[in-house]
Amino acid sequence: MAASLQEIQHRIDSTKSTRQITSAMQMVSTAKLSKIQRSGTGYRLYAQHLQDVVSHLAQAHLSNVKGTLLESREVKKVGFLIITSDRGLVGGYNSMLIKRVMSAFEERHLTKDDVVILAIGGNGADFFKKRGFNVAYEYRGVSDVPDFMEVRDIVKTVTAMYDNEVYDELELAYQHFASRISNEVQLEQILPIDTTNLETESGSLSAEYDMNPSADKVLETVLPQYAQSLVFGAILDAKTAEHSASVNAMSSASDNAKEVIDDLELHYNRARQAAITTEITEITGGMAALE
């Protein structure tokens, strides 16, 4: 019985250590989440203003200009830019996203030969590589609070690959931060740019513009910036969702550890009481035998 008590006590101590670790990780993830939320506020304002500019141009009937990211072409290859985490301990953050992407392949009847994977994050890159997909680009090690200068090469590469016809359509897949307790998988086409669903915050607009320089030059500058803003915004959003998922996962782990500790301590106390009762019974029996 003594050995059993020692084993239970060892499990209690081990679980308490685990809980200390998960609680500390929860605090760190909470701090990262708060920081990236503050960082993202300013960027969302910039992205909205940029969207307004593109929408203005679209309403001015400039979207028929050729040779831009607006132009559709025959779809031979579909690119999927998939943003996952580099590490685990984030609950179902990665698995839910990958499951949705695989479902999209089935819904569109896409085979491995039809798909080009661009993976941001090690989980996604490793998953699709192991299954024989064409992972044409991968990036690992996005910082906890990324800025545009850090990932500008990513967004430039994404648009350059489209220009070079590595793929003819680009789908963006990531976890959107909905709230501190929930994330939502987002799957949306970003290339070619579809201006029909763009909305502005400035109300009605004039349908005509006097352009200097030409519409070609304006679109040549603005549209790549807009495409890049969509990619960077998704990376920022996905990182926010990742930190949120980590907070929730570590919170659940800490709660579960507490429940295990409570159960073990109850079991320990019962076993200890049983051992004491047995010892008293043995002493009492010995005394009776001596009499």
- The predicted-structure confidence for 201-214, as pLDDT tens digits, reads as follows 554 444 455 666 66
Assigned domain for 15 exists: no
Domain that holds residue 130: 27-249
Average pLDDT rounded to a whole number, residues 178-202 = 77
Q: Could you count the other beta carbons within 10 Å of the beta carbon of residue 153?
A: 10
Assigned domain for 157 exists: yes
Amino acid 286 reads G
Average pLDDT rounded to a whole number, residues 114-126 = 95
Task: Please report the pLDDT score of residue 67 as a whole number.
Answer: 54
CATH of the domain at 82: 3.40.1380.10
Assigned domain for 65 exists: yes
Structural domain tally of the chain?
1
Task: Please report the pLDDT score of residue 64 as a whole number.
Answer: 54
Q: Which residues of 4-25 are buried (b: 16+ CB within 10 A; e: fewer)?
A: eeeebeeebeebeebbeebbeb
Assigned domain for 265 exists: no
Please say whether the beta carbons of 77 and 168 come within 8 A.
yes
Place of tokens 């307004």: 52
Average pLDDT rounded to a whole number, residues 36-65 = 72
- Nearest C-alpha neighbor of 1 from the set 289, 288, 279, 284: 279
Share of the chain above pLDDT 90, in %: 44
Task: Please report the pLDDT score of residue 179 as a whole number.
Answer: 84
Assigned domain for 279 exists: no
Average pLDDT rounded to a whole number, residues 150-157 = 85
**Residue 52 pLDDT level (bands cut at 50, 70, 90):** confident
Q: Given a cut of 80, is residue 25 above it in pLDDT?
A: yes
Average predicted confidence (pLDDT) for the chain: 84
Assigned domain for 139 exists: yes
> What is the tens place of the pLDDT at every residue in 206-239?
445 566 666 667 777 777 788 888 888 899 999 9
Please say whether the beta carbons of 65 and 219 come within 8 A.
yes
CA–CA separation, 72 and 168 (whole Å): 8
Assigned domain for 8 exists: no
CA–CA separation, 145 and 40 (whole Å): 9
Assigned domain for 171 exists: yes
- Nearest C-alpha neighbor of 160 from the set 223, 224, 74: 224
**Residue 17 pLDDT level (bands cut at 50, 70, 90):** very high
